[in-house]
Structure 1
Amino acid sequence: SEANILNILLKSPHITAAEIASEIGITDRAVRKIISSLKVKGLVERVGSNKSGYWKVNNK
Structure 2
Amino acid sequence: MPRHTTDKAVPAQRRSFTKAELQRLFDHIDDLIDREYAAGTKRWLPLFRDSVAFKVGYA
Please classify the TM superposition score into its range, dividing by the shorter chain length. Answer: 0.3 to 0.5
| Structure with the higher fraction of residues in strand conformation | 1
Higher Cα radius of gyration = 2
Q: TM-score, normalised by structure 2?
A: 0.34
Q: TM-score, normalised by structure 1?
A: 0.34
